[in-house]
Amino acid sequence: MALQFKNTLTGKKEEFTPIEPGMVRMYTCGPTVYNYAHIGNFRTFMFEDLLRRYLLYKGYKVTQVMNITDIDDKIIRNSQKQGKKLREFTDPYTDAFFEDLDTLGIERAEIYPRATEHIDEMVAMIKTLADRGLAYEIDGNYYFKISAFNDYGKLAKLDLASLKPGARVASDEYEKESVSDFALWKAWDEKDGEIFWETEIGKGRPGWHLECSAMSMKYLGEHFDIHTGGVDNVFPHHENEIAQSEGCTGHQFVNYWLHAEHLIVEGKKMSKSLGNYFNLRDLMDKGYSGMAVRYVLLATHYRQQLNFTFHGLDAAAKALERYNDFIRNLESYDGGESDGSAGEIVETARSRFEEQLDDDLNISGALGAVFDLIRDINRLKADGKLSADEAESALELIRRFDTVLGFEMQQAGIEEEIEELIRQRTEARKNKDFATADKIRDELLSRGIVLEDTPQGVIWKRKV
């Protein structure tokens, strides 16, 4: 089966065909760096990581762009509150974002453009839109004229006439021809203080939607393959991006729009007032590993609302342990006598894994194939019916899967002191001094080291 994605634009599952064979250009909406990103944000970034990794697995060359939004109302407000310059305020959160990506094992995109470094491109777009009659200016503010763009609403399936002015619209402080029109450029205001750019179209700052249009087209071209984000971005953000971009170029902007559902916590919408709002650092402080969080965020299909629970986090850690033990145990396996069944087990796992992921990234189905492989190979191993060569091919396969899953944990070395304790315990066991041996084992466990006595000797691992 060929790779298929559910395309928000068409509402259908469609076969994926890149514009340029063998090459995928994708834009993934990134963080607004006014705070630490929360686990809901990372759910979306994790989905994008899966998408990226699977495209690479399939042999595509991938160019992924993720923007860093480092200018918006909240950033201005909070930076001023703290008496900091823009970059002084946003840089630490930008750094923290990249640290968090590493903690979660999320691969880096090729390009991370900052909005504040692309003002010229945005201004150029506004001028083009104005020339084409799609933008107008009032008191130094520039707005996109929705009524002049026929396709408006095609992504979100919104009928313009049905857009009712609501409370949020009424709160808009700017004058506009139509309440539905959105800001491309905001003229400088006293409240903006030192935050402004002097440009051909005046003194001010860009609207939010424009940066993604300007930066995606700069790095990926006027027409590219995939654009992703959270479901809340469908409207208005992505709808507006289409309007701006296609308004400028006069042709199709993006072929496939993919959107990740939201994460909820213990069955409820995550919110600060409910006390169920978590960023990654909160979870690390509670003693959970980045990998366990990775597993939880990855394991639910991206179009399914993900119910994040602490019980689920514990379950994820156990599942990861099984996965990593499988790899570790295969590595130290001496081999037995083949009964000839391993080859089919490996091939079945490979085809099921790919078939599931080809189907709109059905990760739950793919994980089913992975854990079936683990059970089936472990069974052969337990029965002594797995040869060393077969063990090697199973190991190769799971490592191949791991280029997509990213679950394998590197075992950092252990300190000399711990090695010494392990030696002492081995000695004690040799002398049948089990009381001492068990005491050392408990001591190591409390320090996060788990020991296993095998026929080949003692091995250790870190607790997940």
Distance CA 339, CA 387 (A): 8
- If the CB atoms of residues 98 and 371 are measured against RNA, the closer one turns out to be 371
Q: How far is CA 178 from CA 165, 225, 265, 340, in A?
A: 10, 32, 38, 72
Residue 20 CB, shortest distance to RNA, in Å, is: 27
Residue 221 CB, shortest distance to RNA, in Å, is: 23
Beta strands per DSSP E along 61-201: 61-66, 135-138, 141-144, 182-187, 197-199
- If the CB atoms of residues 62 and 369 are measured against RNA, the closer one turns out to be 369
Q: How far is CA 420 from CA 414, 415, 427, 440, in A?
A: 10, 9, 11, 11
- If the CB atoms of residues 125 and 146 are measured against RNA, the closer one turns out to be 146
Distance CA 144, CA 125 (A): 11
DSSP 108: P
Residue 38 in contact with residue 277, Cβ under 8 Å? yes
- If the CB atoms of residues 412 and 435 are measured against RNA, the closer one turns out to be 435
Largest distance between two CA atoms of the chain: 89
- If the CB atoms of residues 141 and 255 are measured against RNA, the closer one turns out to be 141
Q: Is 176 helix (H, G, I), strand (E, B) or coil?
A: coil
Peptide bond into 21 cis (omega under 30): no
Distance CA 373, CA 370 (A): 5
Contacting residues for 142 by C-beta, under 8 A, at least 6 apart: 126, 130, 135, 136, 183, 184, 185, 201
Residue type, 324: N
- If the CB atoms of residues 99 and 383 are measured against RNA, the closer one turns out to be 383
Residue 23 CB, shortest distance to RNA, in Å, is: 25
Closest residue by Cα to residue 27 from 297, 241, 280: 241
Residue 127 CB, shortest distance to RNA, in Å, is: 19
Beta strands per DSSP E along 188-296: 197-199, 202-206, 224-230, 254-260, 263-265, 268-269
Distance CA 293, CA 127 (A): 45
* Residue 14, strand partner residues: 5
Q: How far is CA 52 from CA 2, 28, 65, 108, 258, in A?
A: 16, 10, 11, 10, 12
Between strands 449-454 and 457-462, the pairing is antiparallel
Residue 83 CB, shortest distance to RNA, in Å, is: 23
Which tokens belong to 434? Answer: 């089990």
- If the CB atoms of residues 18 and 66 are measured against RNA, the closer one turns out to be 66
Residue 229 CB, shortest distance to RNA, in Å, is: 4
Residue 443 CB, shortest distance to RNA, in Å, is: 14
Between strands 61-66 and 23-28, the pairing is parallel
- If the CB atoms of residues 220 and 357 are measured against RNA, the closer one turns out to be 357
Q: How far is CA 393 from CA 55, 129, 333, 400, in A?
A: 23, 57, 13, 10
Residue 37 CB, shortest distance to RNA, in Å, is: 7
- If the CB atoms of residues 161 and 412 are measured against RNA, the closer one turns out to be 161
Residue 318 CB, shortest distance to RNA, in Å, is: 4
- If the CB atoms of residues 20 and 151 are measured against RNA, the closer one turns out to be 151
Residue 237 CB, shortest distance to RNA, in Å, is: 7
- If the CB atoms of residues 124 and 450 are measured against RNA, the closer one turns out to be 450
Residue 61 CB, shortest distance to RNA, in Å, is: 25
